[in-house]
Amino acid sequence: MTAPSKFVASPANESILVAAPADVLTVTGPAGQGYTMFNSLASAAWLTATVALIKSVYPHLPASLVDQAIARSARDHPKGGYSPRVGFGLLNPDGALHEAAALAKRPAAAPAGAGSLAESAHFGSGSPPGVIDAVHHPTSKLAGFAGAMVAGLLLLVIAAVLALRWRKHPRSGRKLANPTGA
């Protein structure tokens, strides 16, 4: 297997949070045999596992604070603290969990003080706005999708009935004619 050409991320914006192990990963195969795996899915697995670890311990921690814990705990920070190539540094799952513990202790809302508004306050007069329905689909389109789903369910029921009928009355008693006469 030949190594793929080096892939260098060149983001158009600063959207990389942290770097994680990827590209070349040595893994253990059957009978303890080691082999090299080339892909970028390993970095996604590291980040996903770190988020899952934090959310398993602090399930009510908002996503923004999970991101903050991961960014603050990164190791090997680049010069200036951030780089479009590696974000805030190398992912540190253990450090992120400890940072999440500190962030989870913070109050969720700032205490009301002088000049702050009550939670029920809103701009303008009248009642507060209701639920916003931003997506409008034509009724004919919705009816078409519903019809397709009903037709699909009907076909599944027919297939199940035919499968049950076949199981009850298999055609194993019939013998096939041998075209060679043997």
What gap in Å lies between CA 119 and CA 128, rounded to an integer?
Answer: 12
Encode pLDDT of 82-91 as tens digits. Answer: 888 788 888 8
pLDDT tier at 180 (50, 70, 90 boundaries)? low
What gap in Å lies between CA 45 and CA 53, rounded to an integer?
Answer: 12
Let me know: does 20 contact 90? Beta carbons within 8 Å.
Answer: yes
Average pLDDT over residues 82-105: 89
pTM for the whole structure: 0.48
DSSP annotation of 9 reads -
Least confident stretch, 11-25, 135-149, 150-164: 11-25
What gap in Å lies between CA 45 and CA 50, rounded to an integer?
Answer: 8
* Of 55, 52, 43, 47, residue with least CA distance to 73: 47
- What residues does 34 pair with on adjacent strands? 28
Mean pLDDT computed over every residue of the chain: 78
